[in-house]
């Protein structure tokens, strides 16, 4: 296997008894027992016991006495059966041990900042000493799983005729709705590249350039706040197809997901994945990435409350509710009201049905029999209402729904729920800037028939964008693109871009669209999110070898750092004092 070892530590079994083997790995533990020295030797495949007997291997015993945790060792000897009382049924190698004849220390270790088998180590310490953390089972499992998934995806993409093409990291800018990381360039002081937020425009140019099936495991950079599902840099399975129907793109993604499940020996989700419109999903779940592993759908009561004696209901543009399978106490309702206010609600109306089915609520006296009939719920449940603008009502009830789904253990963890969300709105209203902005990116196709709304009613125009959601996480998005330069120019105008600005920023795209652009569309799947979910992790940092912390730094090397004045001078950059 190598100069140092014949097999991995995790492999010796009873049938190897009698074999002479060399092993190499890390000392996980050392125990001295009445003259005999036992060492647990570990690598990523497992642990094997070394036994050193000073009576027949005096040199090895001298070396063994020096061994401490995480020393790197090389051992040579014979695989022998363990004495019956020493058999360890919990260990795959537990029936045998290596009777050491020669032992050498290949590398020593200082006392460690944490023990490798300690589960409770703080994340900052784990990240600061990531090389130790990587040695542990969790990171070994996650990163190897990640590699398995990436290689299965590559294989499947290539079977499907996709060509792996590289696109630049240093680009003009790719508007994906985040801030760019900017990169100064010595040869052109005062000018900056952006690090690609995605390969979006380049993959479109591949389609125009006649590569009809492109894919790439692409690194993307986005300067946005870091969260459990976000890092500054991440990888996407980025794809683009020429001449596709929307469903062709969705099927390719389903293939990639299926291949990943299969590579991990797991039952893939059944196909086709459910498909629902954005409007439908927002109305039922108040979120465009709903977790479908539990029900608790939002119900509408706007019509039913038009003549309500409860003024808040009667006058609200939308009244909706969710029924929660728990009769909440006063204190719990206070807390939920605080949560609702945080989500933007002015208050939280409720009806509590106790175990006897009796209703308890300050608003019950205002509600008619017909209204109460409409809201009736099982004993031991609570109906929570939101009454306001529809978007706000959705946000509040959607937020409470997912919070309570988690808190009350309603999520059925044994289920995997994939969902395609289709027909997103083309634009979103940006209240701060008082203008329309794109909801996916500005190259997203318009739903046929909605073209006129671009100017006349931007808020109701639908797009050809779609998202893939898994268990409440957005895995990625894509769209059928605009391949007509006239339409593209209209979108830029609707986004408030002057003709000059559009030409300056995206002239090359408009030009390319005028020179034989086929219909095209694609998708990007956030790989770290997907892999985190496959690994059963809640945070993508657990599947990234060297992640940034929530504050945006890299604890291992201490990046980012200031740079030397002469480098700044060469780049023509002056750094202003930090005034935040």
From 21-29, 226-234, 267-275, 473-481, give the range in contact with ligand ASP by CB under 6 A: 473-481
Q: What is the token pair recorded at 96? A: 């045998």
Largest CA distance in the chain: 96
Question: Taking the complex as a whole, how short is the minimal distance between the CB of residue 176 and ligand ASP, in angstroms?
Answer: 5
Please calculate the CA angle 175-176-180 and round it to the nearest 5 degrees: 65
Does 204 help bind ligand ASP (rule: CB under 6 A)? no
Contacts (Cβ under 8 Å, ≥6 apart) of 88: 49, 82, 94
The residue among 366, 383, 361, 364 whose CA lies nearest residue 315 is: 366
Distance in Å, CB of 447 to ligand ASP, minimum:
16
Q: Do residues 509 and 463 lie in contact, with contact meaning Cβ atoms separated by under 8 Å?
A: no
Closest to ligand ASP by CB, 196 vs 336, is: 196
First to last CA, the chain: 57
Any contact of residue 198 with ligand ASP (CB under 6 A)?
yes
CA 293 from chain centre, in angstroms, equals 18
Candidates 49, 142, 146, 200; binder of ligand ASP (CB under 6 A) is 200
Closer residue to ligand ASP in complex, CB, 222/320: 222
Using CB under 6 A, which of 468, 513, 524, 540 touches ligand ASP?
Answer: 524
Answer whether the bond into residue 376 is a cis peptide, omega within 30°: no
By CB under 6 A, what part of segment 294-333 binds ligand ASP?
none
Nearer to ligand ASP, 160 or 363 (CB): 160
Of residues 397 and 525, the one with the C-beta less far from ligand ASP: 525
Verify binding: residue 420, ligand ASP, rule CB under 6 A: no
422 touches ligand ASP by CB under 6 A: no
Q: How many residues bind ligand ASP (CB under 6 A)?
A: 9
DSSP string, 251-307: HHHHHHHHHHHHHTT-PPPPSSPPEEEHHHHHHHHSSSS--TTS----EE-TGGGTT
Smallest gap from Cβ 150 to ligand ASP, in A, equals 18
The nearer residue to ligand ASP, 21 or 524, going by C-beta atoms, is: 524
Q: Is the peptide bond before 343 cis (omega within 30 degrees of 0)?
A: no
- What is the spatial distance between Cα 282 and Cα 77, in angstroms, rounded to a whole number? 66
**Residue of the chain from 176, 180, 229, 528 that contacts ligand ASP (CB under 6 A):** 176
Pairing of strands 36-43, 163-164: unpaired
Q: Scanning residues 491 to 520, which ones bind ligand ASP (CB under 6 A)? A: none
Task: Note the Cα 384 to chain centre separation in Å.
Answer: 30
User: Is there a contact between 93 and 12 (Cβ–Cβ < 8 Å)?
Assistant: yes
Q: Is 16 or 229 the residue whose CB approaches ligand ASP more closely?
A: 229
Give the one residue of 273, 418, 523, 530 binding ligand ASP; rule: CB under 6 A.
Answer: 523
User: Would you say 273 or 438 has its CB closer to ligand ASP?
Assistant: 438
CA–CA distance, 467 with 24 (Å, rounded to integer): 47
Residue 254 binds to ligand ASP (criterion: CB under 6 A) = no
Q: Based on CB atoms, which residue is closest to ligand ASP, 398 or 442? A: 442
Cα distance between residue 80 and residue 60, in whole Å: 17
Query: Which residue, 394 or 522, is less far from ligand ASP as judged by CB?
Result: 522
Binding residues for ligand ASP, rule: CB under 6 A, are 176, 198, 200, 477-479, 522-524
């Amino acid at each position: 296997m190598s100069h140092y070892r014949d097999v991995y530590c995790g492999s010796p079994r009873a049938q190897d008894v009698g074999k002479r083997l060399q092993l190499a790995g890390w000392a996980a533990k050392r125990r001295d027992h009445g003259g005999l020295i036992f060492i647990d030797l570990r690598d990523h495949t497992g642990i094997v016991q070394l036994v050193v007997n000073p009576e027949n291997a005096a040199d090895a015993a001298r070396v063994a006495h020096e061994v401490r945790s995480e020393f790197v060792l090389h051992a040579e000897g014979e695989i022998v059966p363990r004495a019956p009382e020493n058999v360890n049924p919990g260990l795959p190698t537990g029936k045998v041990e290596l009777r050491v004849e020669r032992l050498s220390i290949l590398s020593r270790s200082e006392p460690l900042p944490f023990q490798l088998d300690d589960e409770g180590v703080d994340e900052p310490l784990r990240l600061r000493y990531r090389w130790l953390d990587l040695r542990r089972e969790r990171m070994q499992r996650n990163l190897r799983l990640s590699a398995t998934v990436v290689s299965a995806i590559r294989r499947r993409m290539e079977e499907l005729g996709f060509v792996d093409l590289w696109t630049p990291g240093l680009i003009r800018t790719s508007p994906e709705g985040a801030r760019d990381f900017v990169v100064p360039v010595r040869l052109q002081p005062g000018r900056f590249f952006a690090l690609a937020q995605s390969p979006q425009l380049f993959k479109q140019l591949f389609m125009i350039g006649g590569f009809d099936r492109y894919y790439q495991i692409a690194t993307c950079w986005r300067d946005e706040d870091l969260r459990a599902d976000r890092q500054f840099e991440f990888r996407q399975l980025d794809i683009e197809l020429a001449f596709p129907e929307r469903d062709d793109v969705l099927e390719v993604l389903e293939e990639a997901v299926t291949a990943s499940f299969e590579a991990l020996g797991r039952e893939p989700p059944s196909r086709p994945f459910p498909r629902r419109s954005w409007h439908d999903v927002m109305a039922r779940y108040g979120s465009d990435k709903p977790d479908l592993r539990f029900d608790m759908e939002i119900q509408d009561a706007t019509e039913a409350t038009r003549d309500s004696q409860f003024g808040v209901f009667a006058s609200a543009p939308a009244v909706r509710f969710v029924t929660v399978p728990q009769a909440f106490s006063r204190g719990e309702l206070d807390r939920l009201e605080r949560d609702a206010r945080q989500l933007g609600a002015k208050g939280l109306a409720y009806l509590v049905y106790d175990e006897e089915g009796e209703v308890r609520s300050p608003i019950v006296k205002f509600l008619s029999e017909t209204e109460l009939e409409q809201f009736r719920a099982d004993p031991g449940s609570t109906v929570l209402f939101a009454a306001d603008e529809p978007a706000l009502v959705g946000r509040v009830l959607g937020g409470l729904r997912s919070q309570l789904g988690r808190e009350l253990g309603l999520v059925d963890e044994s289920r995997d729920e994939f969902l395609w969300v289709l027909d997103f709105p083309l634009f979103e209203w940006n209240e701060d800037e008082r203008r329309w902005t794109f909801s996916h990116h500005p190259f997203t196709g318009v739903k046929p028939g909605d073209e006129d709304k671009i100017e006349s009613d931007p808020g109701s125009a639908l797009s050809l964008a779609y998202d893939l959601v898994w268990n409440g996480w957005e895995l990625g998005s894509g769209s059928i693109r605009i391949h007509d330069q006239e339409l593209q120019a209209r979108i830029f105008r609707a986004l408030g871009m002057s003709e000059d600005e559009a030409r300056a920023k995206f002239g090359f795209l408009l030009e390319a669209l005028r020179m034989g652009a086929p219909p095209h569309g694609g998708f990007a799947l956030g790989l770290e999110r997907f892999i985190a979910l496959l690994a059963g992790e809640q945070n993508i940092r657990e599947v990234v070898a060297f992640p940034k912390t929530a504050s945006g730094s890299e604890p291992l090397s201490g990046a980012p750092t200031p740079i030397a004045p002469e480098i700044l001078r060469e780049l023509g950059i002056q750094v202003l004092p930090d005034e935040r």
